[in-house]
Amino acid sequence: MFYIYIIYSKKLNKKYIGYCENLKNRVKEHNNGESKFTSRGVPWSLVYYQVFLSEADARNEERFLKSGKGRDRLKFLLNDTMNKIKQF
């Protein structure tokens, strides 16, 4: 299985979109500061993920979500989730 995931850092008020094969381990790595790009934002909360059978499909979706149209779709898809998570 291949995963596309979105984590959120309240500390930085930022989202991070990533790809992995082991979601549980990857989120743990982010929260242990093992990822250079996300180490300043610990703790990170998992707010969204998708599962794919195909690695190519997962990578294509990751690329799309990082594009302008993909960010627009995420605003629509996660509007309520992001409003709630920012309140805590």
Supply the pTM of this predicted model.
Answer: 0.90
Residue spans of the domains in the chain: they are 2-87
Residue 48 burial (CB count, 10 A): 17
Q: What is the pLDDT of residue 87?
A: 62
- The DSSP letter of residue 53 is S
**Mean pLDDT calculated for residue range 62-82:** 92
> Which pLDDT does position 65 carry in this prediction?
96
Asked if residue 56 has pLDDT above 70, the reply is yes
The mean of the pLDDT values for the chain is: 94
What is the CATH number assigned to the segment(s) 2-87? 3.40.1440
- For every residue of 21-45, DSSP letters joined together read S-HHHHHHHHHTT-STTTGGG-S-E
Q: Residue range 76-82: average pLDDT?
A: 88
Q: Is 29 exposed, middle or buried (0-12, 13-18, 19+ CB in 10 A)?
A: middle
Give the angle 76-16-70 at the CA atoms, nearest 5°: 35
